[in-house]
């Protein structure tokens, strides 16, 4: 292979000099061995370096924080793999996946854990394909143990500063601003590093990549967050409503802590549980350090962002708020949106994802001019394995379009682009036990615990792209209640089955391989296929709010019984096309148990003033397109 030729050429030069000396001839000056280099062909780096012979290290850095309050700075551990040629002058960038999961939940569709099989303190099995694929192409790979997990000391703090700053320690070391030691205590330097690093990871790992980026740390050149939380308040709350309660924040910290350290870290978890505000759901200072969107102006790295539009774990408002902020700050960026749930793109669109990731890292970390930044900014999955590209997201040409709630005569109300001519009222009673299916099904029937509004069958496609908003004028006979809204597509179609097992994919028994192997680690993974299903409707998007947080998520203000208020709250972002013949449905409820962990207990009777109530849809083509579709 091309990358293995350097030692051979050096050996030939030495042999020639020896032959000349034996013949009595004056020896020629021997050329210095060539410094090994990457090989670029067809616009991408080639696998010219070995994998089995790659240098493997485990290093430890003294951090700048003390998460467990033991009076000692936490030690952050990470495993490093780099091409053997880096010992002979090859300069390479780093791809890092910082994670809390390497010894507990583990990584990827096949739940791979780190493994030291022979007990020598070095990894033999490396989760995920990054090492197998990228090390032979001239990259180093770091798998970093977040504070309090695996080989790092301290205690996890669920996206607080100690978690967020874990990976920054390694970036600082790579750039000569921190000291790392091996297990023997010897200082180790990164004299092989080219000064550029990228971070990647899914879910918690993705949030750690963003958390590192928003510090503005020098040397972090690009990040690839996959389905990661960007506002931890939004992960466990929504507009004042608790969506994940019972001290979920401390519970997650317990999950990622090694079992033998869980009792030791209990005081840290207890402190989080006491401060997380489960009792009210309001935004407090607890969430400030767990917020990345407001810190986007600090980012100096480019961003390749991936999210499933139907992710009900890390919901899509995490990508959208971050994406909007990236755009406002002109951060170099690219976006992939799929139809699956909480699924890695490696298991959704494998070959294209690996190719895209390869070219993205080559451009930003090796400086390979491959044109990836000249391509359309957005890849979007419209239907199962049917992908589109767009110049940006939301799709250019979208305009917020008001669609007003209309009174019905005997069944559901209607939807129209103009408000009802005469004042009208819709009334229902909150039910804390009403299921999501009851809310959605039989939309033409009058039910006591919801309001339903239906369009006529559409006469042309209607494309929404962005974040819908519901605006209600309503009153209640209690001082507190919740509001929920659901946007539904009523029409039979085959769609990605993102609510079924696998969240839209089926894991097959066959494998394919992505990279080179060693005797203990290969780059082979089970293939997947899309899981699809035909259904009569699709829940397109949804949203909730606490009526007491109508003015601010920071402050709850009780309602005055019988007084009308303006309530405005966003639904989750979407990119969806309603097809001709289908009907658009808007469902209004109070408590929404399938979305929140703490349904309201007041059983309030609610009245909605329809003339002043509407849903604002981000329609591509705006009012003109809505008219053409028959709204």
Q: Which of 67, 99, 203, 207 is catalytic?
A: 203
Distance CA(262)–CA(198), nearest Å, equals 31
**How many Cα neighbours within 13 Å face the side chain of 191?**
7
Tokens 């007084």 -> residue: 563
Tokens of 498: 């993102």
403 strand-pairing partners: 615
Residue 6: cis peptide before it, omega within 30 degrees of 0: no
Q: Are 460 and 602 in contact (CB under 8 A)?
A: no
311 tagged catalytic: yes
Tokens of 87: 């010992």
203 tagged catalytic: yes
455 tagged catalytic: no
Residue 30: count other Cβ atoms within 10 Å of its Cβ: 11
**How many Cα neighbours within 13 Å face the side chain of 242?**
17
The closest of 120, 153, 126, 154 to 142, measured between CA atoms, is: 126
Distance CA(385)–CA(389), nearest Å, equals 13
Distance CA(538)–CA(518), nearest Å, equals 46
Q: Which of 79, 97, 205, 311 is catalytic?
A: 311
Q: Are 286 and 321 in contact (CB under 8 A)?
A: no
530 strand-pairing partners: 505
The closest of 167, 128, 164 to 144, measured between CA atoms, is: 167
Residues 6+ positions from 110 with CB-CB distance below 8 Å: 525, 526
Q: Which of 193, 307, 342, 358 is catalytic?
A: 342
Tokens of 442: 């039989």
Active site positions, annotated: 203, 311, 342
């Amino acid at each position: 292979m091309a990358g293995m030729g350097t030692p051979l050429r050096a050996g030939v030069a030495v042999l020639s000099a020896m032959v000349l000396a034996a013949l009595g001839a004056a020896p020629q000056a021997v050329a210095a061995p060539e410094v090994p280099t990457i090989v670029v062909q067809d616009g991408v780096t080639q696998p010219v370096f070995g994998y089995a012979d790659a240098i493997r290290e485990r290093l430890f850095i003294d951090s700048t924080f003390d998460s467990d309050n033991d009076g000692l700075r936490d030690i952050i551990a990470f495993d490093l793999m780099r091409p053997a040629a880096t010992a002979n002058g090859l300069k390479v960038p780093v791809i890092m996946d910082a994670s809390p999961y390497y010894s507990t939940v583990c990584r990827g569709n096949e739940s791979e854990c780190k493994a030291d099989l022979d007990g020598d303190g070095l990894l033999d099995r490396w989760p995920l394909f990054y090492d197998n694929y990228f090390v032979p192409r001239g990259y180093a790979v770091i798998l970093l143990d977040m504070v309090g997990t695996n080989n790092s000391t301290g205690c996890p703090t669920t996206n607080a500063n100690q978690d967020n700053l874990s990976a920054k320690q390694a970036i600082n070391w790579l750039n000569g601003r921190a000291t790392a030691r091996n297990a023997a205590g010897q200082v180790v330097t990164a004299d092989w590093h080219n000064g550029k690093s990228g971070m990647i990871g899914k879910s918690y790992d993705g949030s750690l990549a963003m958390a590192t980026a928003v510090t503005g740390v020098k040397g972090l050149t690009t990040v690839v967050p996959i389905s990661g939380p960007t506002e931890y308040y939004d992960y466990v709350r929504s507009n004042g409503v608790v969506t994940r309660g019972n001290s979920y924040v401390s519970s997650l910290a317990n999950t990622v802590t090694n079992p033998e350290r869980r009792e030791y870290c209990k005081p840290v978890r207890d402190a989080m549980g006491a401060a997380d505000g489960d009792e009210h759901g309001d935004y407090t200072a607890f969430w400030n350090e767990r917020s990345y969107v407001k810190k986007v102006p600090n980012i100096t790295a480019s961003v390749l962002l991936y999210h499933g539009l139907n992710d009900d774990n890390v919901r899509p408002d995490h990508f959208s708020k971050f994406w909007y902020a990236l755009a406002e700050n002109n951060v170099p960026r690219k976006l992939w949106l799929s139809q699956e749930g909480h699924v890695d793109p490696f298991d959704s669109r494998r070959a294209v994802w690996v190719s895209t990731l390869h070219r993205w890292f080559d451009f930003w970390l090796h400086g390979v001019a491959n044109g990836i930044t000249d391509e359309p900014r957005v890849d979007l999955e419209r239907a199962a394995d049917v992908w589109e590209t767009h110049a940006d997201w939301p799709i250019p040409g979208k305009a917020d379009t008001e669609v007003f709630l209309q009174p019905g005569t005997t069944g559901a109300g209607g939807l129209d682009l103009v408000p009802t001519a005469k004042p009208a009222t819709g009334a229902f009673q909150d039910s804390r036990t009403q299921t999501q299916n009851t809310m959605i099904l039989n939309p033409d029937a009058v039910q006591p615990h919801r309001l339903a509004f239906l369009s006529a069958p559409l006469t042309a496609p209607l494309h929404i792209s962005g974040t819908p908003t519901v605006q209600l004028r309503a009153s209640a006979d209690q001082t507190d209640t919740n509001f929920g809204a659901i946007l539904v597509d009523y029409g039979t179609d085959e769609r990605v089955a993102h609510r079924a097992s696998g969240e839209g994919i089926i894991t097959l028994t066959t494998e394919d391989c992505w990279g080179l192997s060693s005797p203990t680690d290969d780059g082979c993974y089970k293939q997947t296929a899309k899981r699809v299903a035909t259904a009569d409707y699709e829940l397109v998007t949804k949203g909730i709010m606490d009526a007491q947080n109508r003015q601010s998520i920071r402050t709850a203000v009780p309602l005055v019984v019988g007084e009308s208020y303006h309530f405005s709250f966003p639904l989750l972002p979407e990119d969806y096309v309603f097809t001709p013949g289908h009907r658009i449905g808007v469902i209004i409820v109070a408590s929404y148990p399938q979305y929140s962990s703490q349904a309201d207990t007041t059983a309030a009777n609610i009245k909605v003033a329809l003339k002043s109530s509407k849903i604002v849809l981000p329609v591509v083509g705006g009012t003109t397109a809505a008219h053409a579709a028959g709204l």
